[in-house]
Structures are given as structure tokens and as C-alpha cells.
Amino acid sequence: GALVYQYPRRTICKSGTSMRMECQAVGFQATSVAWYRQSPQKTFELIALSTVNSAIKYEQNFTQEKFPISHPNLSFSSMTVLNAYLEDRGLYLCGARLQNSDYTFGSGTRLLVI
Amino acid sequence: QQNVQQSPESLIVPEGARTSLNCTFSDSASQYFWWYRQHSGKAPKALMSIFSNGEKEEGRFTIHLNKASLHFSLHIRDSQPSDSALYLCAVSLDSNYQLIWGSGTKLIIKP
């Protein structure tokens, strides 16, 4: 079956430092990878959508300068949170899909900023 | 900007009863509608989707969409304790499938 692994599952970083999280698709080819953030008391916000052979599309309020994303092949994507501050804490979720199928989600990377 | 709202925020239902979860959206151009279920500590998984007005039934689950009233819902008949989870609705405007999520309904089914 299709699975998506995210790691680390949980991480703590000091305010002002950067943190990289990874997303691995297993059992299918991830032509599209979507990164979401669930802040405390909020819903999942789409950060960016990465589709193979297309430019990565960032949503309003999210930038490449703050959340650079790499999608080098059909099974892997990574996103870095640069200069993390308190407002960046939350659950970061990666969803991947093959072409027009439903997304399969990982369990998320929980980021704590101290 | 699309606004997706879910109600209620939380719900406790006795085992065997019918559960109804609601989702409203603001953009009438929305075309794709999903319900996801997230068990504690797990990733959200797609439960059902609907792309045109009407109803769709899969087992104990029924999804109903009314685009004119900007509303879609999920109904669970004969609710089971294993149905206890966070239910998230999601809406997409186009075939790019960029999802806009509701904030979720926490459902508890009491034995």
C-alpha cells in the first residue's frame, strides 16, 4: 500500500535556528507533494505545493525564503523552517499523491521552538 | 480566500446511533470535497470524497453535497467506538487538489 513517512516525528529547536524535515513516499510515485502546517488551535494551512516538473507554488503568508522545499525525485521531499520562532511551532504535515489520486499523508513532524 | 467551517467542534454520540458532521465553504467555485479522518497520533486519511451534487454512500458512511447552499456533510449510521476520531473536511477549487481544511470535529462514540 501507499505510505508516507515523515521524520523526525518530533523536534525542538532554539529560537532563531533552522530545522529540516523530510517526507518519504513508499509504494508509489509522489508526483505532487503538499506541505501543511497545523498551528495550535488552528486548522491545517497549506504552505506550498510541489509538483514534479513545475515550480513550487507557495501560498500567501508562506515564502521560499522562509520554508525552502526540495523535491528531487518521485519518492522524497524535504522542507526547512529557517530562523524558526515561536509562531512557527506546530505540526507539519506532508501529503503526497500520484497524479490525480487522493493524497496520502504522513504522521507529521511536530516542531517545538524554545 | 476560501473559508471552510466545520460544526460542531466536538460531539459525543452513543454507540449504534447516527452521527452527522457538517462543513460549509465560502467559494461557490469549489469543485472537490473530501472528508478525512484522523485517529489520535496518526495521519489524516481520506474517508470519502464527492465531486457533484447529491449523495454518495459507502458502507455505514454517507456524504451529501449541496453546492447551492455551500454545504456538505458526513453521516455515519450505527456509529462504533472505532469511529472515534478527529474528522476534517477539505475543499479544493481546482484539479490541482490544493486542499483548504476545516478545523475539525472531534467525535467520541460512547459504548
What confidence tens digit (pLDDT) does each residue in A4-23 have?
A: 999 998 999 999 999 999 99
**Given A44, A102, A107, which is nearest B42 (Cβ)?**
A107
CA A51/CA A98 separation, integer angstroms = 10
pLDDT at site B101: 82
Q: Tell if the CB–CB gap between B99 and A46 is shorter than 8 Å.
A: yes
> Percent of chain B beyond pLDDT 90?
68
Q: Please, which pLDDT band fits residue B41 given cuts at 50, 70 and 90?
A: low
Q: Does A112 have pLDDT greater than 80?
A: yes
Q: What are the tens digits of pLDDT across the range A59-94?
A: 888 999 999 999 999 999 999 999 999 999 988 999
Q: What is the 3-state secondary structure (H, E, C) of chain A?
A: CCEEEEECCEEEECCCCCEEEEEEEECCCCCEEEEEEECCCCCEEEEEEEECCCCCEECCCCCCCCCCEEEEECCEEEEEECCCCHHHCEEEEEEEECCCCCCEECCCEEEEEC
Segment B75-101 shows an average pLDDT of 85
Residue A81 has a CB neighbour count (10 Å cut-off) of 25
Contact A105 B49 (CB under 8 A): no
Give the tens place of pLDDT for each residue, A25-49.
999 999 999 999 887 766 678 899 8
Q: Which residues have C-beta within 8 Å of that of residue B102, sequence separation ≥ 6?
A: A43, B4, B5, B6, B23, B88, B89, B90
Give how far A22 is from chain B: nearest CA, Å: 15
Judged by a CB distance cut-off of 8 A, whether residue B25 touches chain A is no
- At residue A74, the pLDDT reads 93
Within 10 angstroms of residue B43's Cβ, the number of other Cβ atoms is 20
> Would you place residue B32 in the very low, low, confident or very high pLDDT band (cuts 50, 70, 90)?
confident
| Average pLDDT for chain B | 90
CB atoms A93 and B43 under 8 Å: yes
What residues in chain A have their Cβ under 8 A from chain B's Cβ atoms? 4, 32, 34, 36, 42-46, 49, 51, 59-60, 93, 95, 97, 100, 102-108
pLDDT for residue B69 is more than 70: yes
